[in-house]
Amino acid sequence: MQVRQVDVGDDAVLTQAHAVWVASRSFERPWNDAQSYGTWALERRFRDSGEDHEVWGAYDGDALVGFAMIWIPLHDNTSKIHTEIHVHPDHRRAGAGSALVQQVVDVARARSRSEIIGDLLAPADSTPEHPYRRFAAKHGFEEASQDSMRSLPLPVPTERLDELAELARGGWAGRYELATYLDGVPGHLQPSLCEASNLVDAEAPTGDIDFEPESLDPERYQAELQLERDQGTRRFTTVAVDPTTGQVVAYTDLVIAGGSTRSVWQWGTLVRAEHRGHRLGLAVKVENLRRLQAEHPTREFVVTGNADANAWMVAINETLGFRVREICPMYQRRV
């Protein structure tokens, strides 16, 4: 087994990596709704000024049988790197995963990083004996946070959305203004939207892992929006604005990945600390769902992940109808 860095400009190799990714993510997960090669390749090639991205392949002869994606934050959380490792189901238990972990450790050392963060998806009723969890444990990754992936069948009945919107309105009406934007918020809201988004990992419970606020700024945000336009990805953002300051105080994102056909991703949601307790979390989520359903009525489900300890967000999601489909434990290995 040889490990080499993947030249992300090389379609022949990247096509093999994409095939491994689809096979790995679809294994025992019939609901997987994979991105097309084109949109996935754009993501591998995207140059983010705030984060380096590398792809390393494990080769059996000329065939790429597994790969590791590595994200290396440059302006915040600089003690960490993030990774995701996949081995094709037909090539597991032959050492590819272990060789890739060793490579990730080497990258961490080369970049002077002391923590490797990763997560995995396993059945909701799985035990620590599940192969992926055994793999993580064998390689010194400690389960740092218990997270679950939930799924919400679409469409949510309009009457239910009306009822929840009305419930939320009792908390925020008269204090805030809500607005929904497709494919990015306007320029005047971008600085405060980025500030809110930077706080998600730092303020949400993340078990034994401490995240610093991130450093997304309008320039990087606009580059992400350009990537999404190139991919044919659609992003719905509902914000709550405090009219006295004109600043975003709460936001939520729903994303339809380009090339996917059935799924919608619920990305970050945050209410700034000093504006909590006015049902803004529920309000922005309901408004966003309403708009999404109106424009994409054939989508089948929304997926979201939360730490089990995040009682507030979990309660909102359960109220909306999300139910646990898998666990997604977050792991940390110290280097």
Ligand X SMILES: CC(C)(COP(=O)(O)OP(=O)(O)OC[C@H]1O[C@@H](n2cnc3c(N)ncnc32)[C@H](O)[C@@H]1OP(=O)(O)O)[C@@H](O)C(=O)NCCC(=O)NCCS
Bridge-based pairing of strands 323-327 and 122-123 is antiparallel
Q: Which stretch binds ligand X (CB under 6 A): 44-52, 92-100, 266-274, 281-289?
A: 92-100
- Identify the residue among 134, 262, 323, 334 touching ligand X (CB under 6 A): 134
Bridge-based pairing of strands 63-73 and 51-60 is antiparallel
**Residue 21: CB minimum distance to ligand X, A:** 9
Distance from C-alpha of 121 to C-alpha of 32, rounded to nearest angstrom? 11
* Residue closer to ligand X, measured from CB, 62 or 159: 62
Distance from C-alpha of 283 to C-alpha of 139, rounded to nearest angstrom? 42
- Would you count residue 98 as binding ligand X (CB under 6 A)? yes
**Residue 44: CB minimum distance to ligand X, A:** 16
**Residue 265: CB minimum distance to ligand X, A:** 18
Q: Which stretch binds ligand X (CB under 6 A): 45-53, 95-103, 196-204, 312-320?
A: 95-103
CB of 264 within 8 A of CB of 296?
Answer: yes
Helices 218-231 and 37-45 pack at an angle, to 10 degrees, of 150
**Residue 266: CB minimum distance to ligand X, A:** 21
- Identify the residue among 48, 84, 115, 300 touching ligand X (CB under 6 A): 84
Which one-letter DSSP state was computed for residue 158?
H
Closest CB to ligand X: residue number: 97
Q: Which of 245, 287, 243, 293 is nearest to 269 (CA)?
A: 287
Token pair recorded at residue 308: 């089990």
- Identify the residue among 56, 59, 135, 251 touching ligand X (CB under 6 A): 135
In one-letter notation, the amino acid at residue 242 is: D
Distance from C-alpha of 137 to C-alpha of 182, rounded to nearest angstrom? 42
**Residue 214: CB minimum distance to ligand X, A:** 21
* Residue closer to ligand X, measured from CB, 131 or 191: 131
Question: Which residues from 19-38 bind ligand X, rule CB under 6 A?
Answer: 24
Complete DSSP assignment for 177-246: EEEEEESS--GGGHHHHHHHHHTHHHHS--TTPPPPP----HHHHHHHHHHHHHHT-EEEEEEEEETTTT
- Would you count residue 93 as binding ligand X (CB under 6 A)? yes
- Would you count residue 97 as binding ligand X (CB under 6 A)? yes
Q: Which of 235, 236, 251 is nearest to 196 (CA)?
A: 251
- Would you count residue 191 as binding ligand X (CB under 6 A)? no
CB atoms within 10 A of CB 327: 21
**Residue 95: CB minimum distance to ligand X, A:** 5
Q: Which stretch binds ligand X (CB under 6 A): 39-47, 133-141, 250-258, 320-328?
A: 133-141
- Identify the residue among 57, 73, 118, 155 touching ligand X (CB under 6 A): 118
Binding site for ligand X (CB under 6 A): 24, 66, 84-87, 92-98, 118, 120, 131-132, 134-135, 138
